[in-house]
Amino acid sequence: MTSSGDAPSMKIGWIGAGRMGAAMARRLLAAGYDVAVYNRTRAKAVPLAEAGATVVDRPVELAGRDVVFTMVAASADLVAVTTGDGGLLTDPERVPSVLVDSSTVSSAASADVRRAVAKRGAGFLAAPVSGNPKVVESGLLTLAVSGPRPVFDRMRPVLEPLGRGVTYVGEEETARLVKICHNVFLGVVTQALAEIVVLAERGGGDRAGFLDFLNNSVMGSVFTRYKTPALVNLDFTPTFTMPLLRKDFDLGLDAARELEVPMPVAAATAQLVASAVGAGHRDEDFATLILEQARRSGIKLVPEDAVVDDGLDA
């Protein structure tokens, strides 16, 4: 991290102070950047002000910043904060030199915003991320970035404090499909994990023991380890909710149809995710897929209250 005595000169704007956006903005503040933040619900941005950020009331107030990041929930939100009423690009005289969007949105919406940014003579990078707030805090966030290579090269020093991996994946909207593929895989793996954990428990095993074995085998991963506390102790404090996962499955299957790529496993998982949303699992973490799997298997899970490591020590 850059010390406060050698603070970077680039001024950053940040739009979206939800769980992920706030954690990422904190990384830039810790790196010494001057950060100004907008969030639709101003109260969510107040903790960032306490960490040294400036809070503004409209996205357009960030138009004078050197680079602006956006981290919003959906395609319509990205359009609203950029070209909508009071949007970032509505100042007739000022515009950031680069807009970096880290939201998970459709390629079509991203392309629309890219064109709007280009009309103002600025650069645009799609930079969706992999991780949750604790992953961000642990310095393990990864970013897939697409757009003009010279713009990426210029922005790389700003992107690198956000996590451990910044990967350039191509031009224009390539990063959008890369991230959607990632999230579809996330859902498929989580459903598969729920199925084998429930099978092991139905056969007389305990979840903590089975997952300890799995995590220490060649089949274990950073992901299976950091989902272990949720699966063992049934703590579904949200990192990523089921409706957001359903949205990403919709985007992924739309892309698959357009590109004529059959995805039977993903399609089946998408139905199970939709079923979980219909059963009321909307505000909890998507690891609640295990509850639906248990219900279909005729068993009721209870927390094991075991001490388990998620592998994400900062």
41: CB partners within 8 A, 6+ apart: none
All residue ranges of the chain with pLDDT < 70 are: 1-7, 314
For residue 73, the model assigns a pLDDT of 86
pLDDT in tens, 16-41: 999 899 999 999 999 999 999 999 99
Residue 54 CB burial class (10 angstroms; 0-12, 13-18, ≥19): middle
For residue 5, the model assigns a pLDDT of 43
- Return the CATH class of domain 177-296: mainly alpha
- CATH 1.10.1040.10 maps onto the chain at 177-296
Residue 40 CB burial class (10 angstroms; 0-12, 13-18, ≥19): middle
Task: Give ∠ CA 78-84-86 in degrees, rounded to 5.
Answer: 110
The number of helices, as runs of H, and strands, as runs of E, in the chain is: 12, 9
For residue 2, the model assigns a pLDDT of 41
| CA-to-CA separations, 221 to 170, 193, 224, in angstroms, rounded | 27, 12, 5
Spell out where the chain has E strands: 11-15, 34-38, 54-55, 67-70, 98-101, 123-126, 129-130, 142-146, 165-170
For residue 1, the model assigns a pLDDT of 39
* Dist. CA 81–CA 17, nearest whole Å: 13
- Are 269 and 249 contacting, i.e. CB atoms less than 8 angstroms apart? yes
For residue 117, the model assigns a pLDDT of 97
- Are 33 and 7 contacting, i.e. CB atoms less than 8 angstroms apart? yes
- CATH 3.40.50.720 maps onto the chain at 6-172
CATH superfamily of this structure's domain 6-172: NAD(P)-binding Rossmann-like Domain (3.40.50.720)
For residue 7, the model assigns a pLDDT of 58
